[in-house]
Amino acid sequence: MIQYESWESTQRILVILAHPDDPEFFCGATLARWARAGHEITYLLLTCGDKGFNPATQPDMTPERLCGIRHEEQAEAAKVIGANPPLFLDLPDGYLIPDLNLRRDIVREIRRHKPDILVTCDPQNLFATYGINHPDHRACGQVVLDAVFPAAGNPAYFPDLLAQSFEPHMPKEVWCSLTNQPNTTVDVTDTWDIKLNAILEHKSQVQDMEKLIKRMKSRHTEDSTDENPKYEEQFRVVKYG
């Protein structure tokens, strides 16, 4: 089992996911634990989640208005977690494609931020607890992994980035959240409430707060109880360092 406690110094952690609220739902308790251990965490969201509403029941909402709301909600949630102010590429929600143009963009951001640890999601996870995993999640994970290897650390890839002074950089570890093939489990019992409080900042996406709180609190391990819960988050970790 790999644990963050094996890190001997402060780590720069870059979280690249598709939508606002993905960091909190997928791995917020782990991120909160890392933040409280003194590590520096930066979010890069590929979209602003501008399609996260139902026009039939929210006729006054527009994608443009929701995009602004979700920027604000994600900023507040990042504060709760202990991360830096979030960054956005603001690509169209629901239309992510892991093509070469997006791969170049991700390589550029990896080279810009030079993370020790990169967090994304598992592109092979077709199904989630709510049904079919969102295609943006899978596309995000795919393009991030394709950017990490072999491109981010190899100067032969995307020489135009070199001309812009984005020097090659390779993360030491890649942590894939939302995975069905984990090799790492983190005990996040102490920071589960922080995760939950951060999720609740995404008010535009929470239809029933009491129901959400009940559901999240029920996700303790099978060998624990409601009265004495233990919470875990799982990842597929690839180490390069």
CA-closest candidate to residue 89, choices 73, 104, 79: 104
Separation between Cα atoms, residue 27 and residue 37, nearest integer Å:
16
In a domain, 72, yes or no: yes
What does the pLDDT read at residue 68? 97
In a domain, 4, yes or no: no
pTM of the model: 0.96
User: 56: Cβ–Cβ under 8 A, 6 or more apart, which residues?
Assistant: none
In a domain, 5, yes or no: no
pLDDT band for position 128 (cuts 50, 70, 90): confident
Q: What is the pLDDT of residues 29-40, one digit of tens each?
A: 999 999 999 999
| Helix boundaries (H) for 82-158 | 100-113, 135-146
What does the pLDDT read at residue 5? 59
Q: What is the pLDDT of residues 172-190, one digit of tens each?
A: 999 999 999 999 999 999 9
Q: What is the pLDDT of residues 58-105, one digit of tens each?
A: 999 999 999 999 999 999 999 999 999 999 999 999 999 999 999 999
Residue 144, burial from CB neighbour count under 10 angstroms (0-12, 13-18, 19+): buried
| Virtual torsion, Cα 18, 22, 27, 30, nearest 10 deg | 100
Q: Check if the beta carbon of residue 184 is closer than 8 Å to that of residue 2.
A: yes
Q: Check if the beta carbon of residue 198 is closer than 8 Å to that of residue 80.
A: yes
Q: What is the pLDDT of residues 137-172, one digit of tens each?
A: 999 999 999 999 999 999 999 999 999 999 999 999
Place of tokens 């093939």: 181
Q: What is the pLDDT of residues 191-235, one digit of tens each?
A: 999 999 999 999 999 989 999 999 999 999 999 999 999 999 999
Separation between Cα atoms, residue 82 and residue 103, nearest integer Å:
28
Q: How far is CA 94 from the centre of its chain?
A: 16
Q: Check if the beta carbon of residue 110 is closer than 8 Å to that of residue 148.
A: yes
Q: Is the pLDDT of residue 132 over 60?
A: yes
In a domain, 194, yes or no: yes
What does the pLDDT read at residue 185? 96
Assign residue 93 the CATH number of its domain: 3.40.50.10320
Domain that holds residue 220: 11-239
In a domain, 167, yes or no: yes
Q: Check if the beta carbon of residue 70 is closer than 8 Å to that of residue 44.
A: no
What does the pLDDT read at residue 11? 97
CA-closest candidate to residue 191, choices 36, 25, 29, 28: 29
In a domain, 1, yes or no: no
What does the pLDDT read at residue 235? 97
In a domain, 105, yes or no: yes
Domain count, the chain: 1
Separation between Cα atoms, residue 94 and residue 219, nearest integer Å:
28
Separation between Cα atoms, residue 139 and residue 18, nearest integer Å:
8
In a domain, 183, yes or no: yes
Q: Check if the beta carbon of residue 155 is closer than 8 Å to that of residue 141.
A: no
What does the pLDDT read at residue 131? 85
